[in-house]
Structure 1
Amino acid sequence: MISLRRFLIGFALVALLVAGAVSYLASSSPDGLDAATTRGCETVETDNGEALVGDCIARNASAHHLSDSPLADYTVGGRAHLTGVAGVIGATATFAVAGGLFWLLARARCNRTSP
């Protein structure tokens, strides 16, 4: 019988491997939502970068307030070749937050049930 600790360690290792390696296989093409919001527009180069011309929902969009953050666009500091590193950092942060919440919930439950 496999112990819970061994299972969780194995699960974490596989998740980190997937986050670090498989993320390089992700498509750089727009997803369905991006494609649907840009329907009816065309991307053109301007002096200030790319701009949308035409009639589409995406013309009303603005940059997210965290678009300049270190892990924006699934990269590290804007370096596209570090997608895997960003995936590992994201998976590790998710494990840390989830593990901390589970620990707090378990501790609170134990405190409620003990006399």
Structure 2
Amino acid sequence: MKRFFLGFAVVSVLLAGVVSYFADSDPDGLDHVTEQQGIAEHAREHPLSGWPLADYALGGDDRFTGLAGVLGVAVTLAVAGGLFRVLRKRPGKPADAKPDVG
């Protein structure tokens, strides 16, 4: 099972770090449609728009798109791994056991 997760992590990092450079430079269809329909002029900036990983690039620099992808994958895997550890079934405790009420 560990080999599977390690392979998953390696493939995810490769896709985020390498393949992202070949992606469309304007991937967001929602932005395109709002601009086309004249809705974008009424839009406000997102509160996290100044965040270093906003707009699929590190610091807004398109040369660092792959690095932003790798950091995004790392954060996502860390959060998911932490949640799996916290929520996993504990050994010796049946899955359908009722919690102790007091």
What residue number does 2:100 align with?
none
Q: CA RMSD in A?
A: 2.0
Q: CA deviation at 1:36?
A: 1.4
User: Which of 91, 105, 111 is equivalent to 2:73?
Assistant: 91
Spell out the pairing of 1:1-115 with structure 2 (5 A cutoff): 4-29=1-26, 31-40=28-37, 56-106=38-88, 109-110=89-90, 113=93
TM-score by length of 2: 0.83
Q: Deviations over 1:61-110 (max 9, x none)?
A: 0111111111111111222100000000000000000000000011xx31
Percent identical across equivalent pairs? 51
Q: Relative contact order, CA 8 A, sep 6+: which one is greater? A: 2
Q: CA deviation at 1:111?
A: 6.7
Gap regions ≥5 residues in structure 2: 95-102
Take 2:93 and 2:55, find their aligned partners in 1: how far apart are those partners? 45
Q: 1:88 to 1:37 in 2, by over 3 A?
A: same
Take 1:75 and 1:28, find their aligned partners in 2: how far apart are those partners? 11
**How many residues align structurally?**
95
TM-score by length of 1: 0.75
Q: Deviations over 1:49-72 (max 9, x none)?
A: xxxxxxx11111011111111111
Higher strand proportion: 1
